[in-house]
Amino acid sequence: MIRENQKTLNMIQVILDLGMVVIALALAYWFRFSNYEGSHLKFESYIPTLVLLVPLHFFLYYFLGLYEARRRKSLSSEVGKIIQANLFSTMILFTLLYLIKEIHYSRQVLIYFVVLTSSLTIAERATLRAVLNNIREKGYNKKHVLIIGTGRLAKRLVNALKENQYLGYEIIGIVDENIAVGKKLAGATVIGGISDLEKIIIESKIDEIFVTINTKDYDIFRNIIKICEKSGVRTQIVPDYARFIPAKPQMDEVDGIPLINIRHVPLDNFLKAFAKRAFDVAVSFVGLIICLPIFLVIVIGIKLDSPGAVIFSQERVGLNKKNFMMYKFRTMRMQTAEESDKEWTTKEDNRKTRLGNILRKTSLDELPQLWNVFKGDMSLVGPRPERPFFVEQFKEKIPRYMIKHHVRPGITGWAQVNGWRGDTSIRKRIECDIYYIENWTFMFDIKILFLTIFKGFINTNAY
């Protein structure tokens, strides 16, 4: 039943998406020419473009996976793909118009079109997602799932599925050979052993199975997979080594032998890294020019406030564990390198100057790091770089701490916009940094920069 529902939903989704393309073009034309008195093409002249745009949007959406099941996919990932597809389709249309020397179409209409089609499609998908979540929370459109195993992983999985009701999973029961029928695990009931598996699948109309048993039980494991495949039920394996691998591991193979990359870093891809670096260079260059008047005011203020240098430079650990000098406006009284490198800044730190306290609270002291970004030491977005003295301490105490050096450090980051800055939990900060590293997309960077404007500059933990 679920598969039939998914097919119906996909058909509805395609119709709605393509309908948004038509509506967006009509609205774009209306916005441009509703109060325009001059000579221009009639709307009928724009209709032929739909012969290209409608199928093109369908194929791009399909190619980017926007018609796959979305129960476990975030809305933000959909948004990024929608914008990417719409920009690409409009670029193709512009290119085609240029090649056929068509000069009468309004470029403004086409610009309105790409903005409107993205906005309308995102709104439509967000609405549909909200409706489906509401339906699932009321008990409809559920996926009946079975969990095999009663260990630590099984308990975590039961709790996760129950806490995320919007996913629409209903746990029919647990199957385990070593636990008596009727026993409970995190509220879910054991309904049989492995020998009963085939019967349970048929009688309970199971849609999906999660296998959480230890792979060292090879014969049992092989038998379970055999029964699941014989029954034609979708099967998910929760590996007992899951704690050692990221949420989205990269799969590879050597002569048919599967390999799991335990630390997949999207920015290892040359094109993705190049795009991020090009964006950094362009924005930091413009930022340096725009901020020159602010720099001048701050420089004068620092000189009047306290004696000493205007720019404070400090050694930090960056990409591939290479050290570099990071620049900031000086916010503290002059001190030795040993003092500044080994002392943590606290809320009531008496080393701060009067102006320095203001600069730190507003994060204006970080502006010289635009030069670090332009040079290539840093990125606009990434894990915040730390001093070598503390890196040596943290790498021994905090698991996975050194993973942050797989990418360029940033002026702002996912940890900072979530409040983990200043004298706060290093562990929480690293969790955010690793999430960013493993889930990087260009749109994720844009989101962090946007959040920084509202949450990152002025923060109660910035001192």
In this structure, the strands spanning 184-185 and 188-192 are antiparallel
Task: Say which residues have a Cβ less than 8 Å from residue 110's Cβ, sequence separation at least 6.
Answer: 28, 90, 93, 94
pLDDT band at 176 (very low <50, low <70, confident <90, very high): confident
Q: Does the pLDDT of residue 136 top 90, yes or no? A: no
pLDDT band at 1 (very low <50, low <70, confident <90, very high): very low
Q: Does the pLDDT of residue 2 top 50, yes or no? A: no
pLDDT tens sequence across 20-73: 999 998 898 888 887 776 667 787 887 888 888 888 888 888 888 887 766 566
pTM, two decimal places: 0.59
> Is 331 within 8 Å of 356 (Cβ atoms)?
yes
Q: Does the pLDDT of residue 404 top 60, yes or no? A: yes
In this structure, the strands spanning 234-237 and 208-211 are parallel
How much is the average pLDDT of 326-333?
86
Q: Does the pLDDT of residue 335 top 80, yes or no? A: no
- In percent, the amount of the chain with pLDDT more than 90 equals 19
Looking at residue 215, what is its pLDDT? 65
pLDDT tens sequence across 66-101: 877 665 666 777 888 888 888 888 888 888 877 877
Looking at residue 460, what is its pLDDT? 55
Q: Does the pLDDT of residue 199 top 50, yes or no? A: yes
Residue with structure tokens 């090009």?
A: 278
The least confident of 305-319, 349-363, 435-449 is: 349-363
| Ordered alpha helix ranges (H), 100-240 | 107-137, 152-163, 197-204, 218-231
pLDDT tens sequence across 422-463: 667 788 899 899 889 988 988 899 999 988 887 755 555 554
Looking at residue 401, what is its pLDDT? 87
The least confident of 260-264, 365-369, 395-399 is: 260-264
Q: How far apart are CA 11 and CA 194, in angstroms?
A: 38
Looking at residue 263, what is its pLDDT? 72
- Ordered by where they begin, the domains of the chain are 2-137 (no CATH), 143-244 (3.40.50.720), 270-456 (no CATH)
pLDDT greater at residue 282 or residue 331: 282
Looking at residue 48, what is its pLDDT? 83
Task: Say which residues have a Cβ less than 8 Å from residue 261's Cβ, sequence separation at least 6.
Answer: 249, 250, 251, 252
pLDDT band at 410 (very low <50, low <70, confident <90, very high): very high
